[in-house]
Structure 1
Amino acid sequence: MKARNALLPALAAGALIFAGASFAQDSTGQTPPPSQDTMQQQPAPAQTPPPDVTVRSVPPAAPQVSPPPPFSQLSGGKKWITEEQAEAYPPLANDFLNASHHGTRVSKAQYEAWTKQVQ
């Protein structure tokens, strides 16, 4: 890589930082002081008390989950449940990596241990 190609990103970043700092100094956000004419015409703002705000929050109800189906139903009569087969039971699909111990399929023993853990 040529030296000028390596310096280009650094120069661009420096230019953006400098431009941002310059812009921040220029925009103070202050308005000029009002003249005597405008001060006489404006009525005094009314003081109103802040409104009373009540916030009530409750956690959502826990989702109702049906009991886990038998292993043979999910596996289709095979010795394993694949990730695609696990989608038939959403809680297993959501927790597939845990149930399979970061594998690609769930054995009957892993499924039974997972169902005990979930209940």
Structure 2
Amino acid sequence: MKARNALLPVLAAGALIFAGASLAQDNTGQTPPPSQDTMQQAPAPAQTSAPAQTPPPDVTVRSVPPAAPQVAPPPPFSQLSGGSKWITEEQAAAYPPLANDFLNASHHGTRVSKAQYEAWIKQVQ
């Protein structure tokens, strides 16, 4: 490898670093610091009586969680299943807690058996 080929990436990296540093020091849109002359000529601030500072009032916030919703007891398996061996997701919609927890009750399946339903009832209670 020639020396100039190895030098090119180093020079490019140096140029990028220099460009970044010069952009970081850009003062465009900023006012220059005041000079000695302008600091001596600045008028003294007017003496005004400011209102007395009062401490902020003490605020007490009391909050309680809302009452838990009252849920009806779970219906019998035969009522939800319509006499079949399974409860489908559409049939579970008749009992909202089961519909909300259908994936858990069905063990990520598409239907709930009687044994799964009874185990789910024990888990919920």
Task: Please indicate the TM-score interval, normalised by the length of the shorter structure.
Answer: 0.5 to 0.7
1:88 is matched with 94
Distance change (3 Å), C-alpha of 1:5 and 1:58: farther
User: How high is the sequence identity, in percent, across the aligned residues?
Assistant: 93
TM-score by length of 2: 0.59
CA distance in 1, matches of 2:80, 2:8: 58
Task: Specify every segment of 5 or more residues in structure 2 that has no aligned partner in the other structure, as ranges.
Answer: 46-51
Aligned residues: 119
Distance change (3 Å), C-alpha of 1:22 and 1:39: closer
CA shift for structure 1 position 6: 27
Superimposed CA distance per residue, residues 61-112 of structure 1 (whole angstroms, 9 cap, x where no aligned partner): 1111111000011011111111111011011011101100000110011001
Which range moves more in the overlay, 45-54 or 96-105? Answer: 45-54
Task: Specify every segment of 5 or more residues in structure 1 that has no aligned partner in the other structure, as ranges.
Answer: none
1:74 is matched with 80
CA distance in 2, matches of 1:108, 1:71: 6
Write out the 4+ residue segments of structure 1 that deviate beyond 6 Å after TM superposition. 1-45
Distance change (3 Å), C-alpha of 1:53 and 1:81: same
CA distance in 1, matches of 2:3, 2:96: 55
CA shift for structure 1 position 29: 13
Question: What secondary structure is seen at the aligned counterpart in 1 of 2:87?
Answer: strand
Computing the radius of gyration from Cα coordinates, the structure with the larger value is 2
